[in-house]
Amino acid sequence: MSDSCIFCKIARGEIPSYKVYEDDVVLAFLDVNPSSRGHTLVVPKEHFDDMTKCPKDILDYCFEVAQLIAQAQIKELGATGANVLTNIGKSAGQSVRHFHIHVIPRYDNDGLKLAFPPKQLEDKEMLLIQDSISKGL
């Protein structure tokens, strides 16, 4: 738990939120600035700065809950898909340093654009990258 962390405060009930699911380990609540109707955040109640810092059992459980949320969005809100993502670090757009998973329901022709502009890298560079990431595992 961190005194200044906004999601820790939400987990402790010190800041109100629109909760959709809660148990001893995980809380899921509506994003205050939703990208689509039903945009939900899944967070562990314990504080971890980001996904890379979260122990595997808790991480797995958070994704299990994220799956349930996406299923409920499709079943109950009429969503036709969802984007499930987590930002790691400032460079990736993480603004709240408490691990969270965005579950963003999608609707046909909703106009929402999550941009991943394509880049072309040379074969040599791709091989170097492949080697580096494999080595780091």
For binding to ligand 5GP (CB under 6 A), which residues are involved?
Answer: 6, 15, 17, 29-33, 41, 87, 93-96
9 is in the binding site of which of Zn ion, ligand 5GP, none (Cβ under 5 to 8 A by kind)? none
**47 vs 28: CA distance, rounded Å:** 14
Q: Which residue has the tokens 């980001």?
A: 50
Contacts of 106 (CB under 8 A, 6+ apart): 36, 79, 80, 81, 82, 83, 112
Tokens coding 11: 């987990």
98 tagged catalytic: no
Is residue 98 a contact point for Zn ion (CB under 5 A)? yes
Residue 125 has what DSSP assignment? H
58 is in the binding site of which of ligand 5GP, Zn ion, none (Cβ under 5 to 8 A by kind)? none
* Given 39, 98, 100, 102, the catalytic residue: 100
84 is in the binding site of which of ligand 5GP, Zn ion, none (Cβ under 5 to 8 A by kind)? none
Contacts of 32 (CB under 8 A, 6+ apart): 17
Size of the site for Zn ion (CB under 5 A): 6
Query: Active-site residues: which are they?
Result: 100
Q: Which residues sit at the interface with Zn ion, rule CB under 5 A?
A: 2, 5, 7-8, 47, 98
